[in-house]
Structure 1
C-alpha cells in the first residue's frame, strides 16, 4: 500500500460522490423518465464517454486482462474484437434504434411480441444485469484491497456503497457525467503507462521472447471453438445491450445517436489495445500471478511511478463504478417499467416510477453483492452473465429490427432455449471446457426460426410499430 495511491483513489471517489450530490440537489429529476434518459439533453462528448465506459468495466480491466494474461496478445485481441464489431452493427442500426426507442428492451419486445415476451425478457435481463453488477463489485473490491488496508470483501462492500449512491442520486445525469471524467482518467492512465511498462520489459523484442510459448500462437493454446466461446459473449451482449439502447434513446436526435456511436467505436481502440498489451507485459514481468490482477499489479508493484500507478488504480475503480452504476440503473428500469408500471397502469405516475427505480437500485446492490461471493473470478462471472443475456435476448432483439417474419412463439422459444441452455451448461460444469454460448446461441436461433415458421405471420401493424416495416421486407 502506498500513500500516493491511497490519496489519488480517495480524491477520485470523493469527486464522484460530489458529482452525484450535485445532481441530487440540482432539481433536474422530475420523474422516472429523467432518471433513465437525463432529459435527452446530454452533449456529444458526454454521450460518447458514457457509452464507452459503460461498456468497458471490470470485465475489461480485470476479466479481459486475465484472458490476455493467460492466452496471449493475439487471443486477447480476438477476445475484445467483439466490441468494435458489435459497435459497427450498432452504428448501422443507430437511427432505427433511436426511432424505435423505448424505456427498456423488454418494452420494445412487447410492442412486437406482446406482454408475455416482455415479462420473460424482463426477468432474463434483470438476472443477467444482476450478474454484471456483481462482477463490478468484485472487481472493485480487488482494487481497493490493493490500495487500502481493507480486505477484498470489505473493498467490495465499499465499492457497492459508492456505486449505489451514484446511481440512486441522479440517475443517468450523475452516471453520464461521472462517466465523462472517468473516461479521461482511464484513457490517459493506460496510454502513459504503456511506454514505461515496455521499458521495464526491455522493449518489444524482449516482450515477445518473454511470453510463454502458447501465448505467441494465434489462439493462445485454445481450440478454435473455445476461442469462439470467449469472443461471442461480448459481441452478442453489445448487439442488444439495454444500456447502449438506452444511451441512444437519451441522445438529442438520431444524428447525435449515430455520431456518438461512431465516437464509441474510435474510443474502444484506445482502451482494449492498451489493456491487452499491458496484461501480456505483466505475464512477462510477473509470471504465475492471479490473472485478474495483471494490470493492477503493474500499478501496485512499482513498475510505474507512484502517481501514474495511482491513476491506473483509480482508473480501474472508475471502470467499475461507471459500468456498475449503468447496469444497476438499467436493471432498475426493468423492474420499474416492465414489471411495476406495466401491471399498475395509470396509477404509475412519473414520481412513483422514480421511487420504484431508486428502491430497486438498493435491492440490486444487496443481491449483486451476494451473487459475487459465489463466483471465484470476475472472468467466470462475466462470461456467465454475458451469455445469459447474449444468447437469450440478442436473437430476439435483432429479429425485431431485421426479420419481420419472427413471431411471438419464436421469441418465447428463443428466450427460454437461450437462458435454459446457458444455465444448464453452467450447472453441468461447462463440458469440454466450452463456454455456454457455443451451445446456447445455436439453440436459441434454431428455436426462434423453427417456432416462427411453424406459426402464422405476425400482425403487420406490430412490425411497423417498431420501425420494422422497411427492413428485410422480402424475407419469408
Structure 2
C-alpha cells in the first residue's frame, strides 16, 4: 500500500461525494424528468463523457485488459471492436432515438408490440442490470483492496454506498457529471501511462512487439473465426439496445445534439480501447504470472508507473466501475418505476411520488445487487449471462422498430423468450464445442422474429416511424 495511492483514492471519493451533494439539492432535481433525463440540459462535452464512461467501463478496463493479456493486442481488435462498430449503427439511428424519447426501452417496445412484450423486456432488463451492478461492486471492492488495507468485501461496501449515493441523490445530473470527471481521469492516465510503459519499461514499441510470443502477436492468437465472432457479438448487440445509451440520447437537447454526441462518443472510445489493448498485452511481458483480470491495474499497483500516475490509473479504473454501476442502477430503477409500478400494477403517481419511488427502487437494487455479489456467487455467475441474454433478446426487436415494419408482437415475444432460454441452456451445458452462447442464440432470435412475424402478423401494422411517433414524448408535469 502506497500513501500516494491511498491519498489519490480518497480525493477521488471526496470529489464524487461532492458532485452527488451538489446535484442532490431539490432545485437541481425537482421532477422525474430532471432525475432521469437531467432536464435535457447537459453540455455536449458532458454528454460525450457520460456516453463514453457509461459504456466503456469495467468490462473494458478489466475484461478488455484480461483479453489482451491472454491473447495479445491484435486479437483484442475483435473483442473491443463491438464498441465502435455498434456506435456507428447508433450514429445513424440517433435522431430517431431522440425523437421518440421514452423513459425505458420496454416502454419503446410497448409502442410497437404491446404491453406483454414490455413486461417481458422489463423483467429481462431488471435482472440483467441488477447482475451487472453486482459485478461492479465486486470489481470495485478488488480495486479498493489493492490500494488500501480493506478486504475486497469491505471495499465492495464502500463502492456500493458511493454508487447508491450518486444515483439516489441527483439522478442523471450527478451521474453524468461524475462520468465526465471520470472520463478525464481515466483517459488522461491511460494516455500518459502508455508511452511510459512501452518506452521506459519495455524499450520502445519495436522491442515490445519483438518480445511478444508468437501466440500473442497473431491476428487470431489460436482462436477460430467463430470464437472471435463470439467475443465480438455480445458487446455489439448490448450496445445497440442498451437502455443507458438510449436514455442519454433522450437526454440531449435535440436531435442534432444526439447525433453529434454519438460522433464524439465514437472518436473518444478509441482513447480507451487502444491503450487498454496495448497495456494489457504489455503487462504479460512484465508480469507473466499474474491473474489476467488484473493486467492493467497491476501496472499501477506494482510500481511500473510513477506513484501519482499509478494512483490516478487505479482511481480511474474505480471511476469507471462507480459510474458504470450508478448508470445501470439508475436505469434498472427506472424499469421498476415506469414499467412495473406504473404500467404493470397501474399505480397512478404524481411527479413527486414517482421521484420517490425511483429513489426507493435504487436502494432496493443496491441491496439485492450487494447480496448477490457477497453471498450468492453462483447466482451472480448466472446473472453474468445477462450481457448475452439482454443483447440477443432485446436488440433484434428494438432494431426492428426502426428497420423492419413487419415485425409483429408474437414475433418479438417468441424471439425474446426463446433466445433467453437457449442462452441459459447453452451456458449451463458449459458452451459445447467451445462456442459462446451468442453464436447460437442470436440466429435463433433473428430467425424466430422473422418467421413468427411473417406467420402471425399484427393487424393494421404501421410503418416504424408512425409507430414510434404516435405516442408523444414524456413531458414535465
TM-score range, shorter chain: over 0.9
1:410 and 1:450 in contact (8 A); partners too? yes
Residue number in structure 2 paired with 1:400: 401
Deviation at 1:374, TM superposition (A): 7.7
- How do 1:11-160 and structure 2 match up within 5 A? 11-160=11-160
- How do 1:248-259 and structure 2 match up within 5 A? 248-259=249-260
1:230 and 1:383 in contact (8 A); partners too? no
Deviation at 1:466, TM superposition (A): 3.6
Q: CA 1:5–1:382 in 2, change beyond 3 Å: closer, same or farther?
A: farther
Deviation at 1:209, TM superposition (A): 2.7
Residue number in structure 1 paired with 2:475: none
- Per-residue displacement from partner, 1:337-362 (whole Å, max 9, x unpaired)? 01101135472221122111111111
**Whole-Å separation in 1 of the counterparts to 2:151 and 2:129:** 25
**Whole-Å separation in 2 of the counterparts to 1:272 and 1:383:** 22
Residue number in structure 1 paired with 2:270: 269
- How do 1:137-216 and structure 2 match up within 5 A? 137-198=137-198, 199-216=200-217
Greater mean deviation of Cα atoms: 185-194 or 451-460: 451-460
Greater mean deviation of Cα atoms: 216-225 or 246-255: 216-225
1:112 and 1:462 in contact (8 A); partners too? no
1:59 and 1:135 in contact (8 A); partners too? no
Residue number in structure 2 paired with 1:472: none
1:57 and 1:324 in contact (8 A); partners too? no
- Per-residue displacement from partner, 1:258-308 (whole Å, max 9, x unpaired)? 110000000000010001111000011000211110011000101010000
Residue number in structure 1 paired with 2:231: 230
**Whole-Å separation in 2 of the counterparts to 1:381 and 1:6:** 34
2:324 equivalent to 1:319: no
- Per-residue displacement from partner, 1:145-175 (whole Å, max 9, x unpaired)? 1000011122112111110111111100100
Q: Secondary structure at the match of 1:347?
A: coil
- How do 1:274-285 and structure 2 match up within 5 A? 274-285=275-286
State the TM-score, normalized to the length of structure 2. 0.94
- How do 1:429-444 and structure 2 match up within 5 A? 429-444=430-445
**Whole-Å separation in 2 of the counterparts to 1:374 and 1:201:** 42
1:113 and 1:408 in contact (8 A); partners too? yes
Structure 1: which 5+ residue stretches go unaligned? 470-476
Q: Secondary structure at the match of 2:24?
A: helix
2:405 and 2:463 in contact (8 A); partners too? no
State the TM-score, normalized to the length of structure 1. 0.95
Q: Secondary structure at the match of 2:457?
A: coil
Q: Secondary structure at the match of 1:304?
A: coil
1:400 and 1:468 in contact (8 A); partners too? no
Deviation at 1:373, TM superposition (A): 4.6
**Whole-Å separation in 2 of the counterparts to 1:461 and 1:349:** 32
**Whole-Å separation in 2 of the counterparts to 1:462 and 1:371:** 42
2:65 and 2:296 in contact (8 A); partners too? yes
Deviation at 1:68, TM superposition (A): 1.1
1:58 and 1:135 in contact (8 A); partners too? no
**Whole-Å separation in 2 of the counterparts to 1:416 and 1:266:** 36
1:49 and 1:179 in contact (8 A); partners too? yes
Q: CA 1:370–1:222 in 2, change beyond 3 Å: closer, same or farther?
A: farther
**How many residue pairs align between the two structures?**
468
Residue number in structure 1 paired with 2:410: 409
- Per-residue displacement from partner, 1:59-84 (whole Å, max 9, x unpaired)? 11111111111111011121110100
Residue number in structure 2 paired with 1:448: 449
RMSD: 1.9
2:62 and 2:295 in contact (8 A); partners too? yes
Q: Secondary structure at the match of 2:448?
A: helix
Q: CA 1:87–1:342 in 2, change beyond 3 Å: closer, same or farther?
A: same
Deviation at 1:464, TM superposition (A): 4.3
Greater mean deviation of Cα atoms: 382-391 or 237-246: 382-391
1:402 and 1:468 in contact (8 A); partners too? no
**Whole-Å separation in 2 of the counterparts to 1:210 and 1:311:** 28
**Whole-Å separation in 2 of the counterparts to 1:454 and 1:182:** 49
Q: CA 1:336–1:179 in 2, change beyond 3 Å: closer, same or farther?
A: same
Q: CA 1:219–1:371 in 2, change beyond 3 Å: closer, same or farther?
A: farther
2:3 equivalent to 1:10: no
Deviation at 1:468, TM superposition (A): 7.8
Q: CA 1:56–1:8 in 2, change beyond 3 Å: closer, same or farther?
A: same
**Whole-Å separation in 2 of the counterparts to 1:186 and 1:331:** 25
Greater mean deviation of Cα atoms: 349-358 or 271-280: 349-358
- Per-residue displacement from partner, 1:298-350 (whole Å, max 9, x unpaired)? 00101010000000001001100111100000100011001101135472221
2:337 equivalent to 1:340: no
2:127 and 2:383 in contact (8 A); partners too? no
Deviation at 1:375, TM superposition (A): 8.9
Deviation at 1:31, TM superposition (A): 2.5
Structure 2: which 5+ residue stretches go unaligned? 471-477
Q: CA 1:400–1:337 in 2, change beyond 3 Å: closer, same or farther?
A: same
Deviation at 1:456, TM superposition (A): 2.5
Q: CA 1:234–1:118 in 2, change beyond 3 Å: closer, same or farther?
A: same
Deviation at 1:383, TM superposition (A): 6.1
2:49 and 2:265 in contact (8 A); partners too? yes
- Per-residue displacement from partner, 1:32-52 (whole Å, max 9, x unpaired)? 222110111111111111011
